[in-house]
Amino acid sequence: MTYFRHAAIVAAVVAGATTASAQPTAITREPVESRTVVTTEPLELTPVQRRTIYRTIVRERVAPAEPTIEYRVGARLPDSVRLYSVPQEVAVEVPAIRSYKYMVVNNRVVLVDPATSQVVEEVVD
């Protein structure tokens, strides 16, 4: 008889544990702040790639940028600066710059990371 009593207690405990674990569990998370973490490796271009970029983009004849703003590598550009997508012809020849935008200022091609508006490279003839 004691055996049946112990078996009944164990069955009740197991049933209670099963019922408790079947209840839904709500997990709440604090809102995640939207932070943009960007690590930009230096853009290394060969002389042939530089020539290809410069000659192809100069043929595009886009409107030149304002020469009054400082366009140096590492500088952030204001939102008012007009940037252009890299031509498909150049993106095929130099895939490393596919994701960048560009502008032309003082006969220089300035490559810009559109995510950060930061100048990553300057290409001259």
**Residue 100: which domain range?**
47-123
Among 16-30, 34-48, 104-118, whose mean pLDDT is lowest?
A: 16-30
- Which tens digit of pLDDT belongs to each residue from 46-58? 888 888 888 888 8
Under 8 Å CB-to-CB from 111, ≥6 apart: which residues? Answer: 43, 53, 97, 100, 101, 102, 119, 120, 121, 122, 123
40 inside domain: no
Q: Strands, E, within the chain: which ranges?
A: 84-85, 101-105, 108-113, 118-123
Is 90 a residue whose pLDDT tops 90? no
For the stretch 8-24, pLDDT in tens is 565 555 555 545 445 55
Question: What is the side-by-side order of every strand in the sheet holding 101-105?
Answer: 84-85, 101-105, 108-113, 118-123
Q: Flag whether 54 is in a domain.
A: yes
**Is residue 82 situated within a structural domain?**
yes
Cβ neighbours, 10 Å, residue 100: 21
Domain count, the chain: 1
φ/ψ of residue 52, rounded to 5: -60, -45
Backbone angles phi, psi at 9, to 5 degrees: -65, -45
Is residue 25 in some structural domain?
Answer: no
10 located within any domain: no
**Inside any domain, residue 20:** no
CA distance 5 to 108: 90
What CATH number is associated with residue 81? 3.10.450.160
